Structure 1
Amino acid sequence: MSETGKDARDPFNTKRPEVHELKWHQKIVFYPAAWSLQLYFRTWRVRVDDISGQFLSATTSPRMIVVWHNRSLPMPELFRRCFDPSKIACLISPSKAAAWEVAFFRQFRLRAIRGSTTRRSVQAAREMLRELRSGNDIGVSPDGPSGPLYSFQPGAVAIARKAKVPVMLAIPNTTNARRLKTWDRHLVPWPFARIELAVRVISPDDPIWDKSNEEVAAHLREVCLEITNDPFHLESHEQARVD
């Protein structure tokens, strides 16, 4: 066993997966903070343009909802306003840091599937398929949990292909936000910010599915970038190509 707790014969940590939850003393801090965050979320003005509104109303569960990692903060509130959060399960890392995100998502009636590309990947894939086959949506960040920024991992494509569900690309945009100095330049909207939700849908009958998972992922990434309003757009686009 290595220092990170992973067996060299089990690189995806499927035999001894460790899923972190908040400890009791962390919950003492969490609940007042969560209440304050919900008040902050209520100040936002959310707009959905006509095209995106048509995509939202024309598709029903089950769906794979795709969101960039750096826009995950607004999503619980957008799920509350524009979706049925009780029918959404989000893929979230099993790490200690992500335990805070999981607890907060649960405050919005969202369920969590704990896993990433390197931890609990097999179990998480099974849970995602189970949710989709039960008629629920799943939410994923194709460039999470550690990038590179605006990349699109083909694993999400494989799940959508197997389940034969629509892929909904949901990108919240706002110019009224702070950008954190994290790997994904995380977007934190200011109070009373105007957030515009851009949505596109790739149906399971689209001809793109005749191509390989890698080619489908590249196509979905391009569509996501087209509806992403970001000052780092071109830089991130070219960097992901290099990586």
Structure 2
Amino acid sequence: MDKSFKLKDKIFIWLAEFIILLIMRIIYMTCKKEFIGKPVGQKACVVLFWHGKIAMLPFVFKKWWINKQAKVIISDHKDGQIVSGVSASFGIGTIRGSSSKGAVKALLQALKEIKSGTDVVITPDGPRGPRHSVSDGCVIIPQKTKSDLVILNYNASKFWQFKSWDGMILPKPFSKITYTISEPFSVQDMSMDEAKIFISQKMQEFAS
């Protein structure tokens, strides 16, 4: 944990991680699960999912990431530290930084991770929206590294939807969760605007 956090912040973060993981695992254990798609290949790729689906997606990394590492880009803020701790429980690494803070540092590390064979995971509309927007990093990283993108999503037969900016979806216990992963696709040779529109369309289609 970041040494710059005060003791009360560290206690809050630890408690938040514990409660979030407990809720996630209870929901996952009580739900029926269906997985549609194939595990990712060994070539490094950029993985995308909407911020509103962040709650239950960490579970798929033990299903579809076989003998392969993934790291998610998260903010440098306190809430980012909570996400980092939760992600670590699933064997998912982190790259700290966002469009508002540490963007260049995060971008350079993401490029380095891809080149070393590690998948980079991005919530295109994170960490603060607007909802279902697509950040420049979703285009820059795959184009600079000549890597493909894949999309993750889940839908639930019964769920709560929070009145947060991202409209977060949390499945209800004893519902059915259907996880999906797309086929790899490319945005090479597209302009920034073309690529962002293309990614947005692919994600909206895949999440429907």
Normalised by the shorter chain, which TM-score bucket? 0.7 to 0.9
Q: Note if contact 1:21-1:99 (Cα within 8 Å) is conserved in structure 2.
A: no
**CA RMSD, Structure 1 to Structure 2 (Å):** 2.5
Q: After TM superposition, give the deviation of residue 57 of structure 1 in Å.
A: 4.1
3-state SS in 2 of match to 1:158 = helix
Cα displacement string for residues 140-194 of structure 1 (whole angstroms, at most 9, x for unaligned residues): 0111111111111222111111111110011212231100010111111111321
Separation in 2, partners of 1:35, 1:103: 10
Correspondence for 1:222 among 183, 186, 201: 201
Percent of pairs with identical residues: 23
Q: After TM superposition, give the deviation of residue 227 of structure 1 in Å.
A: 1.6
In structure 2, the CA distance between the partners of 1:159 and 1:31, relative to structure 1 (3 Å rule), is closer
Q: Does 1:112 align with 2:111?
A: no
Q: After TM superposition, give the deviation of residue 209 of structure 1 in Å.
A: 2.1
What's the counterpart of residue 190 of structure 1?
Answer: 172
What's the counterpart of residue 168 of structure 1?
Answer: 150
Q: After TM superposition, give the deviation of residue 66 of structure 1 in Å.
A: 0.3
Aligned-partner residue type, residue 48 of structure 1: F
Q: Note if contact 2:43-2:117 (Cα within 8 Å) is conserved in structure 1.
A: yes
- After TM superposition, list the pairs within 5 Å mapping 1:83-232 onto structure 2: 83-84=65-66, 87-204=69-186, 208-229=187-208
Unaligned 5+ segments in structure 1 are 1-17, 230-243
Q: Does 1:64 align with 2:46?
A: yes
Q: Does 1:33 align with 2:19?
A: yes
Separation in 2, partners of 1:35, 1:94: 20
Separation in 2, partners of 1:142, 1:126: 17
Separation in 2, partners of 1:96, 1:194: 32
In structure 2, the CA distance between the partners of 1:85 and 1:147, relative to structure 1 (3 Å rule), is farther
Unaligned 5+ segments in structure 2 are none
Separation in 2, partners of 1:21, 1:126: 29
In structure 2, the CA distance between the partners of 1:44 and 1:137, relative to structure 1 (3 Å rule), is farther
TM-score, scaled to structure 1: 0.75
In structure 2, the CA distance between the partners of 1:203 and 1:177, relative to structure 1 (3 Å rule), is same
Separation in 2, partners of 1:89, 1:161: 18
3-state SS in 2 of match to 1:101 = helix
Separation in 1, partners of 2:26, 2:6: 24
Separation in 2, partners of 1:195, 1:221: 23
Q: After TM superposition, give the deviation of residue 61 of structure 1 in Å.
A: 3.6
Q: After TM superposition, give the deviation of residue 21 of structure 1 in Å.
A: 9.3
Aligned-partner residue type, residue 195 of structure 2: V
Aligned-partner residue type, residue 133 of structure 2: S
In structure 2, the CA distance between the partners of 1:39 and 1:148, relative to structure 1 (3 Å rule), is same
Q: Does 179-188 or 85-94 show the bigger shift? A: 85-94
In structure 2, the CA distance between the partners of 1:26 and 1:86, relative to structure 1 (3 Å rule), is farther
What's the counterpart of residue 233 of structure 1?
Answer: none
In structure 2, the CA distance between the partners of 1:21 and 1:201, relative to structure 1 (3 Å rule), is farther
3-state SS in 1 of match to 2:188 = helix
Separation in 1, partners of 2:195, 2:144: 13
Separation in 2, partners of 1:39, 1:81: 18
3-state SS in 2 of match to 1:172 = strand
TM-score, scaled to structure 2: 0.87
